[in-house]
A and B are shown apart, each in its own frame.
Chain A
Amino acid sequence: MKCKNSPLIILLIIMLTCAVLTTSGCSSKDENGTRDAVSGMEVTSGSDNASQPEGGSDNTLVLGEMWDIESIDPINGDGTLICEKAAITETLVGANEDFSLKPELATSWEQLDENTWEFKLRNNVTFHDGSKMTAKEVKFTLEKVISENSKVASMLKMDSIEVVDDYTLKIKTKEINPILPGVLHYPDTAIICPSSYNEKGELVKPVGTGPYKFGSFDEQTRILTVVKNENWWGGKVGLDKLILKGIPDPNTRAMAIENGEVDFTVDVPYSETDRIDAIDGINVEKYKTPRVYKLDLNLKHEPLEDVKVRQAISYAINRSDIAENVLYNVGEAAAGPFLPTMVWANKSLKPYSQDLKKADELLTAAGWVDTDGDGIRDKDGKPLKLNLMTYAARPGLPPMAEAMAAQLREAGIGIETEVMEMGSIDDRREKGDWDLYLAAYNIAMVPDPEYILTNWYMTNGTDNGPGYSNPKVDSLINEARKIKDLNERYKKFNEVEAIVYDEQPMIIVAYYGCAIVKKDYVKGYVFDPTAHDYRINAGMYLENKS
């Protein structure tokens, strides 16, 4: 997992050990200590310009990234970072706010026959090294992606690529693949210049077409610097320089923006958003991102096999209360797997609202009644006790698990929560030794409903953790994926959404939120709801930074 021990945690452990010796001044000491640790890191890093630049003339933005920057490989490392957060590369296909596709490096695309696609490219695009972007480079990139990134390769299902002329490209797929343009929106498919690699094929630096070009990457401090691309095809670029620092701990990010170490960051602890927003010179904006908090139910276990029990669980959870008080409104109560703002979402679905009476009726009908008066329902002498596992890398998960456990206990379902490492979770899931699993999932890797619905709800789908199988769902998805007309296609997928909404093999609890925290002098920021976490847009600039 990417989450490393932060200075704060280490400090708190030391505090705990020192508890024998000291009784006073805990909280204030800790705060200062962590600050020292953070600024200390900066001093020893020795990287140029990493500290707060002085004066308004320097148009440099320092960004506190939410993960450690471990790799700058645009294809098989962190395409999301290079494409969305550093804006070095761009994809062929873009996406609008409602997740419908729009031209980016490709101006248009067309499905010629079942397995052939034709892409027309923009003809005024140059790479950062000055060379023109043509079909040849696009072919180079996509072939490299297929050979190095098996995840994307399996989504592309590409057979061959043919360069028709400088700005036309023909892609043949192995089987019918209507989501191909959608996959080409995925950041790992962003177009790079062959000059990114040396003769041995090793990555030197990512050379793309985006508004910012690669400046430097310090292997020691893991600080990535990108500079303005004067010749960007899209127009004027707002910042001279953008410095990305990985700060994986939310508390540390909060302190970094408060003491002016960074100008822009995301996801400070949700509980602190109001406090930080109230600070002069800093503002917090809350958005929804294409990710959901969802609870997988192990359908192979007896109580959860029963659709009534699953519905009862859904009715026992108070989603809006959780969104408001556990997520501090960085997120929203959810109905189906897709955001209502997505063009293909089934908008008639409403989130299950808490209804303990209905839950009671359903559980009683399923045969679960509390006969021994211990507050936990039972059936044939077996108590209705389930375990709920989750992980801590995403800060909303553990408190959400605890809150849900308490809410389910009110409905007479005993829950034992466990916060585990990813490795142990995978292990337990492999063995089938689990009941409930709370996780956060991305729902727009590909801006199309097919990808998620196939993986989650098809019999033996790759992310079908519950082991759900419904022949009706399978056949609907199979029919829908062959339909070219988007509206017809979405209609079929809406039917699937409605079925799984009733059957609840997975309980979608809430939509994931993202808190953008920035200094008031950062202007021109436009949140992109299709980005994985957040996207840096070319229009961002600094105003009267002092």
Chain B
Amino acid sequence: MDNVFTNRLRKKNFSLPEAYGSQFVKRVFQRKDMLFALAALLLFAGLSIFAPLLSPYDPNAIDLKNKNLNPSEEHLLGTDYLGRDLLSRILIGARTSLSIASGVVLISLFLGTATGCAAGYYGGFVDESISRVTDIFLSFPSVIFALTIMGALGAGVFNLMLALSIVHWAKYARMMRGQVLSIKKQEFVLSAITGGAGDFYIIRKHIVPNAIATLFVLATIDFGHVILSIATLSFLGIGLPADVPEWGAMLSAGKEFMRTAPYQTIFPGLAITFIVIIFSILGDGMRDILDPNHEGGEID
């Protein structure tokens, strides 16, 4: 009891950036699930970066005579309906998913932070107009909205990134605005204003650093959602060109062979499941750690 109380007191006195630093890392190491997720993520990232070196076959080379094979020594995960090596395709698919998802999250984060800051900080008409725009974007069901945009733009890596960013940025804008509204009223901001600091300086030095942590949590959880959205769109056949190996597209093409050669749906399905769970654990963990009502690694 005593300990908890003092801890809480202590936390009040932290300057926020410091809390994110060493303390944050320490707390991450206290949580086994986060450690596991981080390790798995690093593994996935490594695999996807070095995918061209690691994949044993050309992911697009067909070998019709050896189609629908079960896992064997030659093909560790088997082959698909055109005799393409599944392991190679899943590795390259990881690269596709992770790179597009990173792009989408970065673009959304940047757009959301900028518009959210402007809305929250300036208030009034600026706030009204930006908030209504985000409302409009948030009111559409995301997958259907993305489908519509993809329908207009056509398939392609860049188009997919663009479409998903358009769908996702509004969430960040709304969260950023809320953060800014509460930080704006804090003493250090007021004193900075009294001290004659410029708007841009205050936003850069005081507001963004204090608000960004929450957005990172959102971004981490969102990462998993974006990967699912990519898979969903290419499952529906409108995400990426057919010759770009992608998990959702592999699932979709393999579903016809589910009863004769199930591995070509099982493995991409597992890959999607794993990566989304990893981001889910990471996002949850970060939220717990950064939540002032929680104590470190334990959920009380």
Q: Measuring CB to CB, which residues of chain A are less than 8 angstroms from any residue of chain B?
A: 8-9, 12-13, 15-17, 19-20, 22-23, 26-27, 30-31, 250-251, 269, 271-272, 275, 318, 321-322, 324-326, 392, 395, 398-399, 401-403, 405-407, 409, 415-419, 424
Contact = CB atoms under 8 A, between A and B. Distances in A.
Interface stretch (B5-13, B32-40, B228-236): B228-236
A417 B255 CA distance: 20
A322 B64 contact: yes
15 contacts: A16-B251, A20-B273, A26-B266, A31-B259, A271-B256, A271-B261, A272-B256, A275-B260, A322-B64, A325-B64, A399-B253, A402-B62, A402-B243, A417-B242, A418-B155
Given A271-B68, A325-B64, A16 B255 contact: no
In order of increasing CB-CB distance, the 5 nearest A-B pairs are: A325-B64, A406-B62, A417-B242, A19-B273, A269-B256
Contact of B62 (A22, A251, A398, A403): A403
Secondary structure call for the A interface = helix
Given A16-B248, A275-B260, A418 B242 contact: yes
A20 B243 contact: no
A230 to B, nearest CB: 43
Contact of A403 (B64, B154, B251, B280): B64
Contacts of B83: 325
Given A23-B273, A325-B64, A417-B243, A16 B259 contact: no
B259 A17 contact: no
Contacts of A417: 241-243
B25 interface: no
B129 interface: no
A117 B241 CA distance: 53
B270 interface: yes
Given A271-B256, A271-B257, A27 B235 contact: no
A326 B64 contact: yes
Contacts of B231: 16
B82 interface: yes
B273 A27 contact: no
Given A251-B256, A402-B62, A20 B235 contact: no
B78 interface: no
Interface in B238-284: 241-243, 248, 251-253, 255-262, 265-266, 269-270, 272-273, 276-277, 280
Contacts, number: 108
Given A12-B235, A405-B243, A326 B228 contact: no
B255 A416 contact: no
B81 interface: yes
Interface residues of B, number: 43
A416 B241 contact: yes
B224 interface: yes
Task: Indicate the member of B68, B81, B82, B276 with the most A CB atoms within 10 Å.
Answer: B82
B269 A26 contact: yes
Given A16-B232, A269-B256, A272-B259, A402 B68 contact: no
A492 B65 CA distance: 40
Nearest to A23: B273
Task: Indicate the member of B65, B224, B243, B272 with the most A CB atoms within 10 Å.
Answer: B243
Nearest to A258: B259
A31 B262 CA distance: 12
A23 B228 contact: no
Contacts of A23: 270, 273, 277
Given A27-B258, A251-B256, A419-B237, 12 more contacts: A12-B252, A17-B232, A20-B273, A23-B270, A31-B259, A271-B261, A272-B256, A321-B65, A324-B64, A398-B242, A399-B253, A419-B242
Given A20-B228, A27-B265, A326-B82, A418 B256 contact: no
Given A322-B64, A406-B62, A419-B237, A30 B243 contact: no
Contacts of A322: 64
B60 interface: yes
Contact of A16 (B60, B228, B257, B277): B228
A172 B65 CA distance: 56
B1 interface: no
B258 A403 contact: no
A145 B62 CA distance: 49
Nearest to A406: B62
B240 to A, nearest CB: 10
A399 B265 CA distance: 16
B109 to A, nearest CB: 21
Contacts of A19: 228, 269, 272-273, 276
A17 B228 contact: yes
B11 to A, nearest CB: 32
A512 to B, nearest CB: 18
A12 B272 CA distance: 13
B67 interface: yes
B4 interface: no
A254 B243 CA distance: 28
A455 B251 CA distance: 39
Task: Indicate the member of B61, B64, B248 with the most A CB atoms within 10 Å.
Answer: B64
A418 B81 contact: no
B235 A409 contact: no
B146 to A, nearest CB: 13
A321 B66 CA distance: 11
Given A8-B255, A417-B242, A325 B65 contact: yes
B265 to A, nearest CB: 7
A127 to B, nearest CB: 44
A398 B238 CA distance: 13
Contacts of B270: 23
Contact of A392 (B237, B241, B266): B237
Contact of A271 (B64, B81, B237): B81
Contacts of A402: 62, 82, 242-243
A27 B82 contact: no
Contacts of B265: 26-27
Contacts of A269: 256-257
A141 B82 CA distance: 49
Nearest to B270: A23
Contact of B277 (A20, A271, A275, A318): A20
A405 B58 CA distance: 14
Contact of A12 (B60, B241, B251): B251
Contacts of A419: 237, 242
B248 A250 contact: no
Task: Indicate the member of A15, A324, A392, A401 with the most B CB atoms within 10 Å.
Answer: A15
B272 A250 contact: no
Contacts of A17: 228, 232
Nearest to A273: B260
A204 to B, nearest CB: 40
A406 B231 CA distance: 23
A409 B232 contact: no
A41 to B, nearest CB: 20
A255 B250 CA distance: 22
A27 B263 CA distance: 10
B70 to A, nearest CB: 14
Contacts of B68: 271
A9 B273 CA distance: 18
Given A16-B228, A19-B228, A23-B273, A272 B243 contact: no
Contacts of A409: 60
B185 to A, nearest CB: 37
A434 to B, nearest CB: 12
Contacts of A251: 255-256
Contact of A30 (B241, B258, B261, B276): B258
